[in-house]
Structure 1
Amino acid sequence: MSTIDGLPAHVLLVHMIVVLVPLTAAALVAAALSPSAARRLGLVLPLLALAVLIAVPVTTDAGEWLERHVDDNALVRRHTELGDTLLPWVVGLFVMAAVVWWLGRRAQAEAGGAGGSARLATPVRLVVALLSLGVAVGAVADVYRIGESGARAAWHDSFSTSGPERGDD
């Protein structure tokens, strides 16, 4: 995908990433920490993570097209390099979302039964919660770093903080 309605697709698609990655990360952490949140989110959580997993390569591909159509400079190269680091994080979001969803379904199915599964549930939930938190923080931090580098590449030398202001006087 190269353009949407005459605009570079990357500059439009990137907004989807900026919204969906933190939203997915927050939902993942909530579901990993709270069984009731996991029940309420249900299948929405892994489907949201899947949407992010699909959107990142599409956005990256659109960014690579845009890179070939702008002036080459160090800021653009840095943004492109950082952009390639997000996919492993969103793979992690998807995997952990699927695990949290599966564990939630399993816990619901075993709710009527007793035995050793209740003792195992707490350590497993703790590990899953810690892994989910780590992946969520990493993904959001990476989106921030990539976005900040993209903003620098797009806006450096494009405005003045001391020049005349334009307004509706």
Structure 2
Amino acid sequence: MTTFNGLPAHILLVHAIVVLLPLSALLLVLTAVWPAARHRLAGPNAVLAVLVVLLVPLTTDAGEWLERRVPSGELVRAHAELGDTAILYAVPIALLALVVWWRGREARAAAGRRTYLAPLSSAVTNVVAVLALVAGAAGVYGMYRIGDSGAKAAWTGNFSSQDNGRGHN
């Protein structure tokens, strides 16, 4: 996908990633550490996290298309390099979201018996929670860095700090 409704697809898709990846990261942490949230939100978050993994390559491909059509510069190159790392945040979040969901599913189905991902093991639950915190924090920070570099690439030198006199009264 290169354009949508006359606009570069990247500038539209990136908004989905910037919102959905941190949301999925937050939900991952919440479902990993809070059993009530896990019961209600782990399944929807697993779906959301997988959707984000599918959206990342579409967004980066659209970004590469756009990169070839804007003036080259250090800020654009820096953003493109950081943008390529988005998948490294999305995949662990999705894998852990699937693990949290699957463990909750097994716990409900097991009725006290031990199953493959050991949903009754507090040690495994603690390891998953720590991994979720690390992956979630890394994902949010990574998206901040990618988004900040994109904003700098798009806006540096493209606005004035002076009011143009056309303000609203």
RMSD: 1.6
Q: Distance in 2 between matches of 1:130 and 1:165?
A: 53
Secondary structure of the corresponding residue to residue 98 of structure 2: helix
The match for 2:2 is 2
Q: TM-score, normalised by structure 2?
A: 0.92
Q: How far apart are residue 163 of structure 1 and its match?
A: 4.3
- 1:53 and 2:53 equivalent? yes
Q: Cα deviations across residues 25-54 of structure 1 (Å, max 9, x unaligned)?
A: 111111100122111124212111110000
Structure 1 gaps of 5+ residues are none
In the TM superposition, 1:13-162 aligns within 5 A as 13-113=13-113, 121-162=121-162
Pair 138,6 (structure 1): closer, same or farther in 2 beyond 3 Å: same
Post-superposition CA distance 1:34-93 (Å, at most 9, x none): 122111124212111110000010000000000000000000000000000110111101
Cα distance 1:146–1:165, how it changes in 2: closer, same or farther (>3 A)? farther
Superposition misfits of 4+ residues, deviation over 2 angstroms: 109-114, 162-166
Q: Hey, what's the Cα distance between the residues in 2 that align with 1:149 and 1:81?
A: 10
CA distance in 1, matches of 2:42, 2:86: 25
TM-score normalised by structure 1 residue count: 0.92
Aligned equivalents of 1:24, 1:42: Cα separation in 2: 10
Distance 1:5 1:22 in 2: 27
Q: Secondary structure at the match of 2:121?
A: helix
Count of paired positions: 166
Contact 2:42 2:100 in 1 (8 A): no
Question: Does the aligned pair in 1 maintain the 2:42–2:97 contact within 8 Å?
Answer: no
1:84-117 Cα shifts (integer Å, max 9, x gaps)? 0110111101110111011111222234458xx6
* Distance of 2:82 and 2:130 partners within structure 1: 25
Structure 2 Cα separation of the partners of residues 166 and 99 of structure 1? 54
